[in-house]
Amino acid sequence: MSVAVGIDVAEERKGLDLVAIDGDRRVVTRFSRATIAQAAATVAKIRPDVVCIDSPPAWASSGRSRAAEREFRQLGIRDAV
């Protein structure tokens, strides 16, 4: 059975909204205000066919980088267009 996960990325203090649906569009699981660790663990456990991420349209332009940006950099993923 196919599963898709959608994650609405926000600052960790606000939490991440996450929903997983199956091929019949039934909700498999959902979180409101999840931590990055909870979201990562959920994705690892479910092993979805696709993960859709709603995130800011660009890297932080001033000040401190976002937690997700720092984690992407650790994986070698840099600013992309």
How sure is the predictor about 57, in pLDDT bands with cuts at 50, 70 and 90?
Answer: low
Contact by Cβ (8 Å): 47, 2? no
Residue 69 above 70 pLDDT?
yes
- Residue ranges per domain, the chain? 3-74
Tokens read off for 59: 């890297």
Side chain identity at residue 31, one-letter code: F
Side chain identity at residue 71, one-letter code: E
pLDDT of residue 5: 93
pLDDT digits (tens, 9 = 90+) for 6-16: 988 777 778 88
> Is CATH 3.30.420 the right assignment for the domain spanning 3-74?
yes
Residue 1 above 70 pLDDT?
no
- Measure the CA–CA gap between 59 and 77, rounded to whole angstroms: 12
